[in-house]
Amino acid sequence: MNQVRLVVRDDNPRAVGTADMLTGLLADQGVSIEGTAPSAVVAIGGDGTVLQAASMAVELGIPVCGVNVGRVGYLAEFAEDEIADLAEAIGTDGFMTRHHSVLSVSTSSASATAINDIVVEKVISQRIIEVAVTVNDRPLATYRTDGMIVASPLGSTAYSLSAGGPIVDSSLDVLILTPIAPHSLLTRAIVLAPDAVVTISVVGDRPARINVDGRELCTVAPEEPINIRRGDATVEFLTLGRHPFPQAVREQFGLDHA
């Protein structure tokens, strides 16, 4: 690689300092962070920064990797003290790659791609919503809930996990359907096949909001179908293979110190 693009959490002094050091190390490898044709995107921050960079990488059709200077670094494989190894790997193309599925959401007026999750949630905080869920045009259940999460395996340790969903190995190709604080008999998350098409619609007169990777996409009216499926693209992560799934889980949740 001779060009990369940096995405830095510029309100974090540690991230800015790490970016400056990495820029110098990359220059020693003959790699520029300037230019219009980057071969990869490097995120420096926490998982939110990696999500931003990953969305950019999917649009450009190039891989992404992350340096973690935040508290949560499940998506960011490299620690601050590994940036010399990162720079050398970029300069010598000494990487392996991992491809992960993404999610696609569409309504009558909007569409988007998500790396982690798509959330359909209530707009009025004091009132729950009732949502009907179908899978491949077959009725699954109607939930009275604060919202529904459809997560990718990469997103299984984000909002879905806090709502009671499972931790899923990111190498798998599935969809995870998780209700948020449900007032229903069916309270558990459901893991669906990769070709599943999930359709969510709000029953009654209350609107819902769609959030994509934590960012608001739009508000939908009652009865309007929201279609969620695996996206056509994939997100490609650069890796040195140092943090296999069990180790990544242990590190994220501090189990090595338990």
Q: Give the catalytic positions in this structure.
A: 47
Residue 30 — left, alpha, or beta (φ > 0 → left; ψ -120 to 50 → alpha)?
Answer: left
CB 197 within 8 A of CB 229: yes
Q: Where are the beta strands (DSSP E) in the chain?
A: 5-8, 41-45, 64-68, 78-79, 96-106, 111-114, 117-122, 129-135, 138-145, 147-151, 175-180, 190-192, 198-203, 208-212, 215-220, 226-239
Going by the DSSP 8-state scheme, the letter that residue 251 receives in this structure is H
Residue 99 has which token pair? 């491809």
Q: How far apart are CA 202 and CA 119, in angstroms?
A: 13
Report CA torsion sign: 72, 189, 130, 183. Answer: negative
Q: Give me the phi and psi of 25, to 5 degrees please.
A: -65, -40
